[in-house]
Structure 1
């Protein structure tokens, strides 16, 4: 056996090993998974922040004005509404990005 035969066999073996690893490798979409988790946490934080800010404003005004819990209840409801509206805007942003990505992928498929 000459050195060039061994080198060719080694290259062929490496190519087969790489092909086998690629075939066995599970196709995870970890980047997509983490991206969706980040969006979900962002929405939860937006909702909780809206509730917290509404509670803080309402409680503060109740203490300053000497009213019952009425302003706190009103501002908590307003904070909930604001949090939900912010969550809806975030969901629309994610949907818009997915539609744009799908359109870009379809355009590239048509070219290729």
Structure 2
């Protein structure tokens, strides 16, 4: 028996319990947020805008060049501007799909790490 008066907690057992509680609290903390998370979202938005504008610009340039070459002023310019717009939209949609797949993979990884931690606690 210990030489503590009745009803007094054992300091060694309390210290061990505090260590266990600290370990459990630490394992249940959410992962730290990335500082550049908003920056990466802004980068993706700018990437999409640039893809759209470059598609329009390239289409306009090709159409204008062909119109100047053949002497048919607005026909090829309008046609290739529309094709450039379609190409820009297609590339934007591909970028959005890639972004969603990356986000889904990141969420799946976060969930699998949380599940592993739950399994270790059980």
- Range class of TM-score, shorter chain: 0.7 to 0.9
* Cα distance in structure 2, aligned partners of 1:95 and 1:28: 18
The offset of 1:34, in angstroms, is 0.1
| Distance in 2 of aligned mates of 1:28 and 1:50 | 35
Residue matched to 2:55: 50
Structure 2 distance, partners of 1:108, 1:30, is 21
Deviation at 1:36, TM superposition (A): 0.2
Report if aligned partners of 2:64, 2:73 keep a CA contact under 8 Å in 1.
no
Normalising by structure 2, we get a TM-score of 0.68
What is the match of residue 99 of structure 1?
A: 104
CA RMSD across the alignment = 1.3
**Unaligned 5+ residue runs, structure 2?**
1-31, 118-122
Aligned residues: 86
Structure 1: segments with no counterpart, 5+ residues: 1-26
Larger Rg: 2
Give the helix-richer structure, 1 or 2: 1
Question: What is the CA–CA distance in structure 2 between the aligned matches of 1:30 and 1:41, rounded to whole Å?
Answer: 19
CA distance in 2, matches of 1:45, 1:102: 28
| Residue of structure 2 equivalent to 1:3 | none
Q: Which runs of 4+ in 1 moved over 4 A?
A: none
